[in-house]
Structure 1
């Protein structure tokens, strides 16, 4: 009697730091493997935030993509919401007999999809928010670090409302341990793109120049003209924060480029730190050389796994 064997993987994941070429590799593999792409990016979900979030929509061609342009700019999005939508997309793609490819660099989102734990939505706590509203930014940062000694997501510390929400979530998790909920049978194969640090810095710098020349400043101004406050735009990350400061007259054009470029380089280092932490937590990442032939290397890795 033949024994049924499940395929060795049912989710292919492409990750890497910003400007590493993740989308291009994911699209190429999706085209060869009857795949559809699920974006793991905290900002590409928003319509109208194209250049600042690095959507690179032109690279997708005819490949279906999910979790891009699903919300209006100005709305909020969370890791909980991402995980729920990821599971829906994963199950839908799989049911059609196609291969889901998860592609992105937002560490928390990748973790939420790959590590097999179900997140629970944390309700707002008005009493706690009132109490925290009287605290200084420094006090809030200290509280969050005490609740989460491993805190590494500096974005939560760059915006007061994000810090308060992070404390709210940490308090909830501490006081009400959540029961494990069922998670889809995800069997991931994870491929990461790696570059020499100097070459990645060059790519980041060149990409930033292109984005500034191709309308990123005008995109941010347009979003503000639509009624999105500078504070809310700052919440969406580095590009929107620094371009907003430039548009308010707080930075010169040269300062905008230099400061934003440096901040993105630092962000890429934090992404790489997160990927190393993922590996320590049991996620096997098969690294390919971005400067070589990452598609050929990825094909080899996929082929080896399919032979298991």
Structure 2
């Protein structure tokens, strides 16, 4: 009996060892195949080493050497104006750069997101070439109830009274869209974008061309400006919009029709014997 039990035990151990051996071979073959597939994918998608953030960097923070690292990035999806080994972010001898906007972890570092070496994250760093900063007075109504944030885009409407003797001119006060898609760069005295709290601003600063600045200045001095917040992904172009009291109320201007007057005939009466004769003469009046 003991001999039979021993034989069964030996057979069981042999089968268990064989099962472990087969499992190891299967797992090893699977890992080898997986590694081969990974190598194929890496070889089929060309990559380039570019600098990315190794941590989340807030607006205005100094970007240190340990905050960035070279990582592979697919060449087909390379962002614009990136930094790599040929174009390092912090070259030797250069001063440190600061973040001009929040940068997420593993996000590519681009020129538009960092300042020049040694520069700060002031308002001028948010202006593109040819742009100027212009402040617009707002309140709780014209400022979209405090929901405006730097980097938002707005449409600017002007409301005022047009003085004209032309009968075709607008009646009463007029509201007109004067600028569309204007980018905000500051709310009151802050240009930070990460704040989620709503604040009732007294002024907003926009980035505009000199021609737009002149239009906004003229509009602000002759009427009231109101802002309309645009969607972040809205790329539509607004049409020419102008509303006066007549169009708002649906009133149609009535045309004055001048009825033609009958030709006036002037006569003179003369008596010839016993007969009274009327003779037409030119009217003097």
TM-score by length of 2: 0.20
Structure showing the higher strand proportion among its residues = 2
TM-score by length of 1: 0.19
Structure showing the higher helix proportion among its residues = 1
Query: If you compute each CA radius of gyration, which structure gives the higher value, 1 or 2?
Result: 2
Q: Which has the higher contact order (CA 8 A, sep 6+)?
A: 1
